[in-house]
Amino acid sequence: MIGNTSRLSIEIAVDEKGAVTALRRVGTASEKAGVKGKAGFAGMGREVDKLNGKVRAYTLSFKNLAGAGMGFMAVRTVFSKVTDEVKIGLKAVEDYRLSMATMTGFMITNSRKLQQGDLAGAYRDANTYAGKLIPKLEVIAAQTLGTGKDLQAITETMMMHGVVLDINNQKEINGLKNITNVLKMVTAGQNQDIQMRQEINSLMTGQLRMQDRLPTLLHAIDPALKEHLLLWKQQGTTIEHVGALLAGFDPATKLVEQTWTSIGTTMETINTKVLRGGMQPIFADLTDKAREINSLFMDKDGHLTEFSYEIQDNMHDAWDYSKHLGAELESGLRS
């Protein structure tokens, strides 16, 4: 537009010298303004380009900042996604192994072989029995209101006090059924895993608290319960005798088996057993891979590896660069 203005001033020149001179002066001023304007816009364009470059670099620095930790997060995310897909099966395997370890540990603690100094023998016997006990509890669970996990929780808590179920004693099995059914009823609406364990703890220690319904019920049936529990523990008949005190639930077992709650818990137990069996080899592979991944970031002594420190340094550098560019960006916008 400025160039066109110069040509226009010449094209409409008139004979009157003053008018022409004035017009030529306007054209000259316009040309000078045009040159300065072009230079100004060119300079502004360069500044904008610089600013855009800084903005791009600033944005890129944030990407670098995010990317610095993405290697670590990506590995965890991928593993997490895999775990989510099969989490029920993996949890079934994990719960089984933890229960095996817990039961084995409790039985070793109360083992005569351990007292005689035979730790290897105590472990062998305890681990073998735990391997038989858990499947048996899952079979018993199908005849109660509880799941296999419920019976494991009850049995593990009893083991803490030196009371171990004899899977070859039908009277004890019947007693455990009665105890389980009563516990499921009196703890309904609560966190049953926690409450059932608390109920058994109170029972085994002879406590009588208002919130513990099973010990309260049993004490009402047998006022000398505390003394009897000591005797039954010495005889190894605690589960049998406690179950006998709840004999009213024995003939009701058939009715219990026909309830939807019982059928549902049986289905849950079946599902757990199927998934556990299917996931055993997968679980082993995943745990091996997880250990390999962990070893990239932390050594066996719990110290971060050089790779972890490199990630930290990259994150620090990216953040420092972002702060520097941020200050320049702010200065560019203000000027």
The answer on 249 and 172 residing in a single domain is yes
The answer on 149 and 23 residing in a single domain is no
Residue 220 has which token pair?
């009402």
The answer on 125 and 197 residing in a single domain is yes
CA–CA dist 285, 5 (Å, integer):
81
The answer on 135 and 36 residing in a single domain is no
Q: Is the pLDDT of residue 235 over 50?
A: yes
By CB neighbour count within 10 A (0-12 exposed, 13-18 middle, 19+ buried), where does 3 fall? exposed
250-287 core/surface letters (b: 16 or more CB in 10 A; e: else):
eeeeeebeeeeebeebbeebeebeebbeebeeebeebe
Dump pLDDT digits (tens) for 200-233.
Answer: 999 998 877 778 899 999 999 999 999 999 999 9
Q: Is the pLDDT of residue 79 over 80?
A: no
The answer on 242 and 103 residing in a single domain is yes
The answer on 110 and 23 residing in a single domain is no
The answer to whether residue 330 is domain-embedded is no
Which residue is associated with the tokens 């000398």?
Answer: 224
Report the percentage of the chain scoring pLDDT > 70.
Answer: 60
The answer on 242 and 119 residing in a single domain is yes
The answer to whether residue 11 is domain-embedded is yes
Range(s) of the domain holding residue 105: 87-297
Confidence of residue 243 (pLDDT cuts 50, 70, 90): very high
Residue 263 has which token pair?
């059928």
How confident is the model at residue 156, as a pLDDT?
A: 93
The answer on 116 and 215 residing in a single domain is yes
Backbone angles phi, psi at 139, to 5 degrees: -70, -45
Confidence of residue 63 (pLDDT cuts 50, 70, 90): low
Specify the number of domains making up the chain: 2
For range 258-276, the mean pLDDT: 66
Q: Is the pLDDT of residue 298 over 70?
A: yes
How confident is the model at residue 212, as a pLDDT?
A: 85
Q: How many CB atoms lie within 10 A of CB 72?
A: 17
The answer to whether 280 and 93 have CB atoms below 8 angstroms apart is: yes
302: region left, alpha or beta (phi > 0 left; psi from -120 to 50 alpha): left
The answer to whether residue 217 is domain-embedded is yes
Confidence of residue 199 (pLDDT cuts 50, 70, 90): very high
CA–CA dist 136, 154 (Å, integer):
14
Q: Which residues contact 244 (CB under 8 A, 6 or more apart)?
A: 171, 175
Q: Which residues contact 26 (CB under 8 A, 6 or more apart)?
A: 9
